[in-house]
Structure formats: C-alpha cells, structure tokens
Structure 1
C-alpha cells in the first residue's frame, strides 16, 4: 500500500517532529504551517499570531506498519488536547490542537478517537478537526530541530520530556535506530 499523509498540530512543531521521527512506519516528518489566511507565511508572522496558521507536522506514513489511529493515539498522549490555543507556555492560535484530515476515512477515524479521548481526559477536548488546507513547509532551520539542537533550552526542558514519555508509553512503536 502507498504511503499516506497525516497533518497534525499540537503546540510547537519541534515537539511533534521529534516524537514522530522516532515512530516505526513514519517515513518522513516535516514541520510547517497550515490553516491560515496568508500565502507563504514565515515563522515570525505565524508566531505573531496574525496569520491564523497553526504550527503542524506533515507526516508520511506506511499504513502497513502504523495506522492513522495509532498516530492519533500517540498525538493525544504527547500533547494536552484540553487547552485551547495553548501548550504549556506556548500561547496563541498557532499552538492549537488540530487534526487536518486528508480524506473521509481519516475524518471518521479522528472523530472516533476524539470521542474516545473525551472519556480519558478530565477536561473537554478542544482539538479541532479540519478539512485539509494549503500547507506551507517551515523554514529549513526548523526541520530536524531537536536532533540539531538537543541541548537548547526549549529542547532540553520541553521537547526531551515529550520524547521520553513517548518512548515509555509506546516502546513497541519506537524505532530502534
């Protein structure tokens, strides 16, 4: 079966990128922006909160190795889907929790997983479920960020703990490399 695409936003894209790079069956991870009104936005514009874009990761995955449902189970474990437009100290619509489904099958799976997660979390799920929108790749210096800067403050104190949580909860889905 051909690779499929998933586009997810759950706070800073560096966190999601670092985790999904470790997932068996994910063949590519790219940080970018989607869901806004400005063409070809840059990081400063998106971080300013004026474009309407979310920081997202665009995943290419092999559905014979990992399902879209499993990708969403990881997603709901590594970020807080109950905080509106916020993840930790990152505040603004660019950090919203959002799933950009690529087809009707992904839409239905995401609806079911969100309903299931509503039973797990103590607060209401605020994750948006949106049709695909124009995606823009983030600047090159945002790609593979955690691997290039593991000791940078944000990476050490925010990204690394999310990666450790993923490895603990989803050890069987983690790459050995």
Structure 2
C-alpha cells in the first residue's frame, strides 16, 4: 500500500483497543503487543505483574488515503478514558496506561494535537503520555481475540461493545458497515 502508516497506542486492555480499530475503515492491520518497558520479549504474565514497565498496546497500519492520522488519534482518545491514570475501568496498573508511542516527529506533533483537542472538548484532563519504546508482539492467542475467544469472555462482553458503540456514534462514516 503506497500511503500506509503504522502507529502504536496504548489505552488499557489491548483486546479492547484491537477490537475498536479492526472496525475502522482504512485500518489494514492490528496487532496486540507490549511497549514501553525494560524487559526484552516480555510475556503476558510478566507484563500483567506490572513489574516490566510495559503497556498493553496495539500497533496498527492504516491507509492515509482513507483515514487520517488525526482521525486515528481522535478515535483512540475517544474510545477509552484518557483521564484515568494507570487504569481503564477495573484494569489497574501501569500496563493499562493511556499512551501514544510515536514513530516519527509528525506522529509526535499529531499526538500532542490530539491530546489538546481532547482536553478542549472534555471535562478533566488527559493523562495520556507520549513515550518511546521497543515493540514486542503479544503471544498468538492474544491476536484477533475479540473475533474468537473474546465473544465468549464475560470481561470482553462487558467492556468491548460499549467502546464499539462509542466508535460508531462519534465517528460515523469511518466504521465498516459489516462490523
């Protein structure tokens, strides 16, 4: 794809963030993984301990001709609660922090702008950080989780559908109709 770009965001449970972006028109790939810590090739168990410094995150590739970087970041900010420090709902710990991991100066600038837009139009203030880090893909059983195990998992059934409804309501025209 000639005009593709990859971004990395962390907004709580990666199963939830992955499910949101799989429904976005122009997103061609979503991978769950870990970033922002100090252990090489961490496991899910290690990251869940909260001792590695990693965040559960998603790395997504999108077609800039179909969805802009600003829209991607606005969808990210709009489908989780970026005002929660080191937590999303019942998920508590630094591994569930709200963070953007820019891969270029343009992404860093756009991340700063997205956080500012969110702060201007929402109560509270975003605690979303902008960080650097090395990407590590999560274990295979975490990939495409919502499409498989997730729809039988009570946690996912409680958390993911409201996020998908937020996406559809706030970003009409950017969500796949077959989703």
Alignment TM-score, normalising by the size of structure 2: 0.95
For residues 118-172 of structure 1, give each alpha carbon's deviation from its aligned partner in whole angstroms, at most 9, with x where no partner exists.
11221121000123x2100001111011110213101110112111221222231
Check the 8 A contact 2:28/2:62 in 1, yes or no.
yes
Residue aligning to 2:138: 138
Matches within 5 A, 1:54-65: 54-65=55-66
Q: Which consecutive residues of structure 2, in runs of 5 or more, have no partner in the other structure?
A: none
Return the alpha-carbon distance in structure 2 between the equivalents of residues 155 and 128 of structure 1. Answer: 25
Q: Tell me by how many angstroms 1:80 deviates.
A: 0.5
Residue aligning to 1:106: 107
Residue aligning to 1:172: 173
> How many corresponding residue pairs?
176
Q: Tell me by how many angstroms 1:2 deviates.
A: 3.1
**Is 1:51 aligned to 2:87, yes or no?**
no
Residue aligning to 1:115: 116
Matches within 5 A, 1:22-171: 22-131=23-132, 133-149=133-149, 150-171=151-172
For residues 85-142 of structure 1, give each alpha carbon's deviation from its aligned partner in whole angstroms, at most 9, with x where no partner exists.
00000000000000001101111111111112111221121000123x2100001111
Which has the higher mean CA deviation after the structures are superposed, 158-167 or 34-43? 158-167
Return the alpha-carbon distance in structure 2 between the equivalents of residues 80 and 18 of structure 1. Answer: 16
Q: Tell me by how many angstroms 1:33 deviates.
A: 0.1
Matches within 5 A, 1:5-20: 5-20=6-21
Instruction: Show structure 1 runs of 4+ deviating over 2 A.
Output: none
